[in-house]
C-alpha cells in the first residue's frame, strides 16, 4: 500500500506568479491606494513592527467601530517584529485615468507611444511591455517594486480589443511573458464593467494545478449602500465569466476603505453588513486618515512616506491574509 501511495502521490501544486486583481466598478473607493499599498507591502524588505495576529486586527477594528481614538489607546505592547516579504512585484496601472502612475511620481506614457493597451490590441509589433516598466527608486523596496505606467489610450481599450476572438485573454498575452521576473503582479483596474475588466478577471483566474487563493480578485469597498450595489454588479460579472470561460476565480477578500465611524450609523451598520457577507470575507478595514492623502501629495508610496502609520499597518496585515 505504501509503495502504491508513493508511486501515485498527488503532485504538488504548481508555483505560479501571484496575480492580484484589485477591482470595483465603482469609482472613489480607493482601488488605487489599496493596489499601491498591497504592492509596496509585498516588496518592502525592512524589519518593521507590525500588528499581525488576527485577534489584534479584530481588536483594532472594534475600537475603530466604537469611535475610539486609537491615539488614546496603548497598543504599542501589541506590536510584533515581522520581516518584510521582499518579493519582486510588478504594479500595473490598468486605469486610463493614470492615478496610480501620477501618485507614484511616474510620467504617464504619451498617447502615440507603445502602451499596455496597444500591446493588448496587437497594434504594436516591436518590443514588449517590458520596455515600458519603471522601477520605483526607493531604498525601502530595494529595486523590487516595478510599475507599468498608464497611457490615456486605455480609454479606448474596450473598442481596441472588442474584435479579438479571445479578447478575455488579451491582458494575459501581454503580462504572462513578464511573470518569470516577478513573484507577484498587482493590477489596479479601472472603474468599469467592460471587456477590459473581463480580461483582468480572466488573468486572475486559478490556473491548472495552482494553489487556491494564490491569485484572484481583491475588492476595495466603502461602508455605504452605493458601494454594495456596485459590488453586486462586479460579482455578477465574475460569475458570468466563470461560466462562460469555464474557469474558477478566487476571492481574496474585501477591504473596507476610507472608514470613519464618526460618520455615524450609516457607516457602522454598513461595516457590519459587509462582515455579514461571509464570503468573500472582510480582511481589513482601512481608516480615513491623512497619511494616504499626504503620501499622494508627496508622490510617494504610503509605506514609504508613513511606514509606521495605522493605515500602513493595516495594509501589511491585509497582504498577509493571502500572501
Taking residues 222-251, report their average pLDDT.
Answer: 92
Q: What is the pLDDT of residues 193-203, one digit of tens each?
A: 899 999 999 99
Q: Of residues 25 and 295, which shows the higher confidence score? A: 295
Q: How many CA atoms lie within 13 A of 57 on its CB side?
A: 20
pLDDT-based confidence at residue 60 (cuts at 50, 70, 90): low
Taking residues 25-38, report their average pLDDT.
Answer: 90
Gyration radius of the chain over CA positions: 20
Least confidently predicted of 10-19, 94-103, 243-252, 314-323: 10-19
Q: What is the pLDDT of residue 35?
A: 96
pLDDT-based confidence at residue 145 (cuts at 50, 70, 90): very high
pLDDT-based confidence at residue 52 (cuts at 50, 70, 90): very low
Q: Which domains are present in the chain?
A: 15-319 (3.40.50.300)
Question: 178: which residues sit within 8 A by CB, 6+ positions away?
Answer: 90, 128, 129, 130, 133, 185
244 pLDDT more than 50: yes
- The rounded distance, in Å, linking the Cα atoms of 259 and 256 is 7
What is the average pLDDT value for the chain, to the nearest integer?
86
CA neighbor of 314 nearest in space, from 61, 103, 85, 80: 61
pLDDT-based confidence at residue 205 (cuts at 50, 70, 90): very high
Least confidently predicted of 139-148, 187-196, 221-230: 221-230
Q: What is the pLDDT of residue 180?
A: 96
Amino acid at each position: 500500500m505504501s509503495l502504491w501511495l508513493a508511486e501515485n502521490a498527488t503532485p504538488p501544486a504548481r508555483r505560479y506568479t501571484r496575480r492580484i486583481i484589485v477591482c470595483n466598478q465603482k469609482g472613489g473607493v480607493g482601488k488605487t491606494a489599496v493596489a499601491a499599498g498591497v504592492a509596496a507591502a509585498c516588496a518592502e524588505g525592512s524589519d518593521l513592527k507590525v500588528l499581525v495576529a488576527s485577534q489584534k486586527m479584530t481588536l483594532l477594528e472594534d475600537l475603530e467601530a466604537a469611535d475610539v481614538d486609537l491615539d488614546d489607546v496603548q497598543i504599542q505592547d501589541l506590536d510584533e517584529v515581522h520581516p518584510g516579504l521582499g518579493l519582486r512585484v510588478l504594479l500595473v496601472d490598468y486605469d486610463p485615468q493614470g492615478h496610480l502612475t501620477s501618485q507614484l511620481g511616474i510620467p504617464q506614457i504619451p498617447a502615440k507611444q507603445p502602451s499596455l493597451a496597444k500591446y493588448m490590441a496587437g497594434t504594436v509589433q516591436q518590443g514588449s511591455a517590458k520596455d515600458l516598466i519603471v522601477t520605483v527608486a526607493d531604498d525601502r523596496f530595494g529595486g523590487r517594486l516595478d510599475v507599468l505606467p498608464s497611457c490615456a489610450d486605455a480609454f479606448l481599450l474596450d473598442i481596441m480589443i472588442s474584435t479579438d476572438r479571445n479578447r478575455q485573454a488579451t491582458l494575459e498575452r501581454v503580462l504572462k511573458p513578464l511573470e518569470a521576473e516577478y513573484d507577484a503582479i498587482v493590477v489596479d483596474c479601472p472603474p468599469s464593467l467592460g471587456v477590459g475588466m473581463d480580461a483582468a478577471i480572466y488573468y486572475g483566474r486559478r490556473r491548472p494545478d495552482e494553489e487556491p487563493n494564490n491569485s484572484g480578485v481583491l475588492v476595495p469597498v466603502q461602508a455605504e449602500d452605493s458601494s454594495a450595489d456596485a459590488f453586486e454588479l462586479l460579482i455578477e460579472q465574475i460569475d458570468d465569466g466563470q461560466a462562460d470561460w469555464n474557469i474558477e476565480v478566487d476571492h481574496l477578500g474585501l477591504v473596507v476603505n476610507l472608514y470613519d465611524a464618526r460618520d455615524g450609523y450609516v457607516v457602522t451598520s454598513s461595516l457590519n453588513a459587509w462582515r455579514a457577507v461571509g464570503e468573500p470575507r472582510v480582511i481589513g478595514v482601512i481608516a480615513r486618515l491623512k497619511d494616504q492623502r499626504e503620501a499622494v501629495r508627496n508622490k510617494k508610496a504610503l509605506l514609504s512616506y508613513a511606514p509606521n502609520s495605522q493605515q500602513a499597518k493595516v495594509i501589511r496585515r491585509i497582504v498577509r491574509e493571502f500572501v
